[in-house]
Amino acid sequence: MSKTDQTSKQEIKQVGQQVYAAHKRYKEQALRHRRFRHQHIVPLIEKLQDNPLFDVQVAGHSVQGRAIYLIKAGSGKTKVMLWSQMHGDEPTATMAVFDLLNFLSVSDELDPIRRQLLEHLTLYFVPMLNPDGAEMYTRRNALGIDMNRDALRLQSPESVLLKQLRDDLEPTFGFNLHDQSRYYTAGYTALPATISFLAPAYDYARNINSVRDRAMRTIAGMDSVLQQFIPGQVAKFNDEHEPRAFGDNIQKWGTSVILVESGGQHGDPEKQHIRQLNFTTIIAGLYLIAKEDYRAFALEDYNFIPENQRHLYDLVIRHARYAENGRETLLDIGINRLEVDAPNHMGFYHSSAVEELGDMSVFHGYEELDATGLQLVPGKVYDQALERMDELTPALGTELLKQGYTTIRVRHLPGVLPDPSSLPLNVTGMESIVNHQLTLDEPANFILQDDSGHAKYAILNGFVYDLQGNRPELFHGLLH
C-alpha cells in the first residue's frame, strides 16, 4: 500500500469520526419514529425551496397521486443520485437523508467536508420513492408491485420515474437505500448485521467491470468507517444476480450502485442509532467519491466483508426441559416478536411466534435465557372470568403469572379495544378456545418452573418476565 493510500484511509476514518460525533446537530427533529408518512416530509422539502443551495422539483407522482420529489445540491462534475424508501416500510435512510440535507444547509467547523461534497459532486436526492407504500407502512406500492422487481417491465409510475431519472441524469454513482430484516447476522457470528452493503452484479457470471469496481471499492471505504462504531456488525449481501432488480440493472446501465441496508441493533427499535450510522457512512461514501479516494481501497477489502446469515432471533431460550406424551425433551426455543400494524398504520404492537425448536447452538438471540434445570409448562387460562377489562391490573397480572396463568377471560369486552401494550396478560372472551401448547408458528405463552413447581419466569407473548424481579419495560399480552 502506498503512502498516499494510507493517508486517504486515515483521512476517511477521521471524517467519519467528525460526522458521527456531530450528527445530533443535524438530526431532523420532525422525524423521530420510523412510521412517518409522505405528509410529514412535504413541509421539510418545501422549507428547502427557500434555500438557494437546493433546487427542488416534483419529479413525478405515485400511483395514488402523491408527489415524488427530486432535490439537487452541489455543482461538481461527478453526479450522484440517492434514492430511499423504494419499499414503503424501509424508512431508516430517509431519516438520514433529511439529516444530510440539514448538514449541507449550515456552516460550521465541518465546512471542509461540506465543501468537498458541494464543489466536487452534484447530488440528486429522491427521499421517498414509494410514498403510497409509506402511507400503509408496507413494502409494495399501491398496485401491489415490489418496485425492486420492476426494473424491466416498468409497470409502476414510480419505477418509470426512477428509470427516467437514471437515464436523464446519467449519474456516475447511485446510492440505493433500504432496510433489511433485523434477524441477519454479520457472517457466522452472534452480532447483528446492523448495516449491510452490496455492489450488485449486473450479470449471472458476477463479472466486475470498472463500474462495479468503483462501487466495491467505495463500499470497502464506507465499511472501514463503520468499523469504528459497530465493529463486526457490517455485512454484505450475496451478490447473486437478480435480473429484475433496479440495483443490478442500474449497475448494468453504467451507474456504480452502492446498496445500503439498515438491519437491527440491540436496544434500537426505532433505528435512531442506525440512522446516525447511515448519515455517517453515506457522507463518508460521498467524500470518498468527491476525492476519488475510493481508489485507495482494494477489492479484497470488499470481499473481506462477511455475508449476511439469518442466525438471529428476538429471544432464544436454552436448555429447557419439556415433557409431552410421557417423554421429556431438552429444547432450545427460538422466538420472534413480529410487528403488527395498529389500525392507523402509525403504530404497532407485537405478536410472538415460536419459530424454531431443538438444538439451536448455531443460532443467537438479541435476548437469551438459560433455562437449565427448569421445566417448561404451557400457560394456563384463568377460570374465574373478570367482568370488565379495568379489573385486570398489573398487580393482578403479575400474581396470576406466578400461578402459571398467561390468559384471562373477560365477560364484557369493550367496543374500543385497548392498546395491547397495556395488557399484563393475554385477554380472551368467554367462548374462545385457547391452547398454549408449545408448537411451531404459534404464540409463545408458557412458564418456566423449578422442580418444586415454583414459577421462575413467565414467557408472555414472547416476552420474558423474571418473576423474582420487576416487570420488564417491553412486555405485553394480546387480545385473542
- In this structure, the answer to whether residues 60 and 126 fall within a common structural domain is yes
CATH number of the domain within which 423 lies:
2.30.40.10
- In this structure, the answer to whether residues 342 and 201 fall within a common structural domain is no
- In this structure, the answer to whether residues 322 and 194 fall within a common structural domain is no
pLDDT (mean) for 338-354? 83
- In this structure, the answer to whether residues 7 and 35 fall within a common structural domain is yes
Is the pLDDT reported for residue 344 higher than 70? Answer: no
Pairwise pLDDT comparison (348 vs 48), residue with the higher score: 48
Pairwise pLDDT comparison (420 vs 17), residue with the higher score: 17
Cα–Cα distance for residue pair 167/170, rounded to 1 Å: 5
Q: Specify the pLDDT at position 310.
A: 96
Query: pLDDT (tens digit, 9 = 90+) per residue, 275-287?
Result: 999 999 999 999 9
Query: pLDDT (tens digit, 9 = 90+) per residue, 179-194?
Result: 999 999 999 999 999 9
Q: Is residue 480 part of a domain?
A: no
Query: pLDDT (tens digit, 9 = 90+) per residue, 304-342?
Result: 999 999 999 999 999 999 998 889 999 999 999 999 887
Residues in the chain: 480
Q: Is residue 479 part of a domain?
A: no
Whole-Å CA distances, 440 to 297, 328, 354, 437: 46, 18, 5, 10
- In this structure, the answer to whether residues 284 and 379 fall within a common structural domain is no
pLDDT (mean) for 126-138? 97
Q: Is residue 384 part of a domain?
A: yes
pLDDT (mean) for 259-266? 97
Q: Is residue 180 part of a domain?
A: yes
Q: Specify the pLDDT at position 414.
A: 79
What total of structural domains would you count in the chain?
A: 2
Q: Specify the pLDDT at position 434.
A: 82
- In this structure, the answer to whether residues 217 and 263 fall within a common structural domain is yes
Domain around 99: 3-310
Is the pLDDT reported for residue 3 higher than 70? Answer: yes
- In this structure, the answer to whether residues 409 and 304 fall within a common structural domain is no
CATH number of the domain within which 280 lies:
3.40.630.10
> Which of 51-65, 196-210, 286-300, 399-413 is predicted least confidently?
399-413
Q: Is residue 163 part of a domain?
A: yes
End position of a domain, from candidates 283, 310, 337 = 310
Cα–Cα distance for residue pair 475/472, rounded to 1 Å: 6
End position of a domain, from candidates 310, 326, 360 = 310
- In this structure, the answer to whether residues 409 and 424 fall within a common structural domain is yes
Is the pLDDT reported for residue 346 higher than 70? Answer: no
- In this structure, the answer to whether residues 301 and 378 fall within a common structural domain is no
pLDDT (mean) for 59-75? 98
Q: HSE (CB half, 13 Å, CA atoms) of 449?
A: 16
Q: Is residue 475 part of a domain?
A: no
Confidence of residue 142 (pLDDT cuts 50, 70, 90): very high
Is the pLDDT reported for residue 417 higher than 70? Answer: no
Is the pLDDT reported for residue 429 higher than 90? Answer: no
pLDDT (mean) for 346-367? 93
- % of the chain beyond a pLDDT of 70: 98
Question: Which residue type does 421 have?
Answer: S
Cα–Cα distance for residue pair 37/34, rounded to 1 Å: 9
- In this structure, the answer to whether residues 342 and 458 fall within a common structural domain is yes
End position of a domain, from candidates 257, 277, 310 = 310
pLDDT (mean) for 356-383? 96
Contact in structure between 197 and 259 (CB atoms under 8 Å)? yes
Contact in structure between 184 and 308 (CB atoms under 8 Å)? yes
pLDDT (mean) for 393-416? 91
Alpha-helical segments (H) within 150-245: 157-169, 210-226
As a whole number, the mean pLDDT across the chain is 95
Q: Specify the pLDDT at position 5.
A: 86
Q: Is residue 258 part of a domain?
A: yes
- In this structure, the answer to whether residues 157 and 86 fall within a common structural domain is yes
- In this structure, the answer to whether residues 88 and 146 fall within a common structural domain is yes
Query: pLDDT (tens digit, 9 = 90+) per residue, 149-177?
Result: 999 999 999 999 999 999 999 999 999 99
Q: Specify the pLDDT at position 420.
A: 74
pLDDT (mean) for 16-25? 98
pLDDT (mean) for 208-215? 98
Q: Is residue 10 part of a domain?
A: yes
Contact in structure between 59 and 70 (CB atoms under 8 Å)? yes
